Amino acid sequence: MSAQHEAGAATTHRVVILGAGYAGLSAAIQLASRVKRGENVRVTLVNAQERFTERLRLHMSATGQRLAELNIPDLLEGTGAHFERGWVTAVDADAKTVRIDDERVLSYDTLVYALGGVADTAAVPGVEDYAYTLNSAQDAEVLADRLSRLGSGTVVVVGSGLTGVESAAEIAERHPELNVVLLGRDEPGAAMNPKARAYLRSALDRLGVTVRSGVEVVKVLPDMVELAGGESVAADAVLWTSGTRMSPLAAAAGLTVDERGRVVTDATLRSVSHPEVYAVGDAAAIRQGYGVMHGTCQGGMPTGVHAAVSIVRELKGKRPKPFRFGYYHTPVSLGRHDAVVQFTHPDDSPRRLYLTGRMAARYKETVTASPWPTWGRMKKMPASGAFWPRGGRFTRVREA
Ligand SMILES: Cc1cc2nc3c(=O)[nH]c(=O)nc-3n(C[C@H](O)[C@H](O)[C@H](O)COP(=O)(O)OP(=O)(O)OC[C@H]3O[C@@H](n4cnc5c(N)ncnc54)[C@H](O)[C@@H]3O)c2cc1C
């Protein structure tokens, strides 16, 4: 047991937040900023690395672009939250403890589960052995190294979702000497309106990306991928962006999870099986009127803020309020100078309005860089973090 955590445990409410991604950091900064004056609350944020992983820019890391050095303890500075670096290896939901690096144990009164998710490398045989991923900053750097050494050849990007599209475009722009092939079940930009989708497609064509949709990759081999039906596509490097895989920790702890391993929450973001556990970001299955939210930073940060606000309400003896969130945009970069921003209805269906070209690229960059000013403002004025679209009638959950 960590001596630090045992000290004063009888009087101090211990909140442990697992995962310092966009959602976990939002929770930590919001909570610590709200409780720092006087209340007896200790906030501890646990993360595998001390450096913040800018997931939204991992396709840039994968093409050798240097990102800003964002240090988690620096981001927490002034809030009073503690940072604990380490890999969470177990959660004991009965004993209310988490184990870190198999050796340290932290006790909690309230847990915020924010471990995110990664591309599913167990989806088909060969991905674990032969494909590259953007599952961590290190993985992106390994791919960057491979791409920089190839000289010529073919890079196959599997997955025509937004990560696949952004990655294919970025690789094609940075490595014009390589053939880039984008393979996926759906057409790129499938959820956009027809004009925005057509723009996205023409941008991929301009960058020289070969797009094949309606295909199913069934196996990855050292120098090719195999498609359902037996056809193969030669590949000098394969980037796997398809599917999502969650940490097994929540299920192993006995928390109720959905079919994808996400923690199922009630309307206030508490685990339906363990109300002292909040789940936020990609790791949570959060139901809104339009269905279960899908993993995004735009929705993940509000979930972290909401969990923090709810914890403060509970500490004051008040009931936490239901979480409501409506989507408003889907910004997709197409290299460094082009992008499409599809504006959406709160249920994420496309509006007619969309932006393209340099203006869209600037919009996307502003969005990607927005967490730091948001967190900076939140430290001084916690209430400023609680502004996001609630989604009106789209997010009203009707009981069956
Ligand atoms: C290339 C790319 C581009 C994207 N672009 C967009 C975009 O434009 N807009 C958008 O809204 N979303 C985008 N996304 C999705 C977005 O990145 C995620 O939805 C977001 O990161 C989710 O935030 P999170 O805090 O839930 O999880 P994460 O950001 O993944 O953070 C989870 C944290 O937990 C840590 N962790 C995990 N397991 C452990 C463990 N066992 N022990 C200790 N630490 C652990 C991880 O290291 C990480 O720091 C993109 C994703 C990628 C890969």
Q: Mind listing the pLDDT tens digit for each residue in 313-360?
A: 999 999 999 999 999 999 999 999 999 999 999 999 999 999 999 999
Q: For a ligand 1 pocket test, name from 52, 56, 244, 280 the mutation site with the most ligand atoms within 8 angstroms of its C-beta.
A: 56
Distance 231 CA to ligand 1 centre (A): 33
Look at the alpha carbons of 371, 62, 18, 391 in this order and tell me if their dihedral is positive or negative: positive
| The one-letter amino acid at 208 | G
Give yes or no for residue 342 CB within 6 A of ligand 1.
no
CA angle 117-119-123, nearest 5°? 125
Could you give the strand order of the β-sheet that contains 13-18, starting from the edge strand earlier in sequence?
A: 82-85, 41-47, 13-18, 110-113, 277-279
- Residue 219's CB: how many other CB atoms inside 10 A? 15
Atom of ligand 1 nearest to the CA of 25: 25
Q: For a ligand 1 pocket test, name from 22, 46, 55, 343 the mutation site with the most ligand atoms within 8 angstroms of its C-beta.
A: 55
Length of the chain: 400
Q: Mind listing the pLDDT tens digit for each residue in 53-96?
A: 999 999 999 999 999 889 999 999 999 999 999 999 999 999 99
Q: Mind listing the pLDDT tens digit for each residue in 248-271?
A: 999 999 999 999 999 999 999 999
Q: How far is CA 150 from the centre of its chain?
A: 29
List the alpha helices (DSSP H) in 89-246.
127-130, 137-150, 162-174, 194-206
Position 3 scores a pLDDT of: 40
Give yes or no for residue 304 CB within 6 A of ligand 1.
no
Atom of ligand 1 nearest to the CA of 22: 25
Give yes or no for residue 253 CB within 6 A of ligand 1.
no
Q: Mind listing the pLDDT tens digit for each residue in 34-54?
A: 997 667 999 999 999 999 999
Atom of ligand 1 nearest to the CA of 281: 26
Give yes or no for residue 247 CB within 6 A of ligand 1.
yes
Look at the alpha carbons of 42, 46, 49, 51 in this order and tell me if their dihedral is positive or negative: negative
CB-facing half-sphere around the CA of 170: CA atoms within 13 A: 26
